[in-house]
Every structure is written in structure tokens, then in C-alpha cells.
Amino acid sequence: METKHTEGEWTMSKQDSNMYSVHAPGRLNGTPVAMINPFNKDVHPEAVEANAKLMTAAPELLEQLSEITELVEGLKELGAFNGMSAKHAISEINFRSKKAIRRATE
């Protein structure tokens, strides 16, 4: 899979009481990949932190989803699932995984 996003293990840091930055290794002068700063002051701080954690995990989630998709395709080719319902479930997982990868990478 061709990677278009900033590669590496992303990290986050708290900038102030309700703002986070997301960083990736190798960025020029430590420039953040993203800043999470709610424009609406009514946004709960826990939601802001959860959003920062989700963004930080995105590259790893994408990698894992890509690997799961490859495993599912390999299982289908081996005929590891004999029942139609299992085959249907694996096909659906595969379809949804590819859809998520496309959305994250395009």
C-alpha cells in the first residue's frame, strides 16, 4: 500500500488546558501534524483529548487494518471457511476493511 500520510509513530502533547498537538518523527523543526483546539468552548475537554488520541493512533490503525485485510484475503484463498455464512462474514469484513483504508488514504 502506498503511504501518503506522514509516516512513523505519532505522539501527542498537551499544549494548554484544552489543546493538543499531534507530532510525527522527522517533521521539519518538530512542526505538528495537527493541532486539536476546539473552537467551541462548550466542547468537553475529555472529547478533545479523545480526538487527539484517535488521531495519534490513526497510522497504526491503518497499518493493522491493512494487515487484517491481507489475512482475510489469504484465508479466503485457502478455503479455510467452509460454511456460506462464514464466507459471507469474511467477505463483508474484507469489504469494510478496504473501504476504511480507502477513506483514510485517499
Q: Where are the domains of the chain?
A: 11-105
**Worst-scoring range by mean pLDDT, 56-60, 74-78, 96-100?**
74-78
Q: What is the pLDDT of residues 36-58, one digit of tens each?
A: 887 777 788 888 888 888 888 88
In terms of pLDDT, which residue wins out, 59 or 28? 59
pLDDT band at 70 (very low <50, low <70, confident <90, very high): confident
> Mean pLDDT throughout 14-20?
85
Taking the C-alpha atoms of residue 60 and residue 46, their distance in angstroms, rounded to an integer, is 22
pLDDT at 22: 92
Taking the C-alpha atoms of residue 97 and residue 95, their distance in angstroms, rounded to an integer, is 6
33 in helix, strand or coil?
Answer: coil
Phi-psi region of 77 (alpha: psi -120 to 50; beta: other; left: phi over 0): alpha
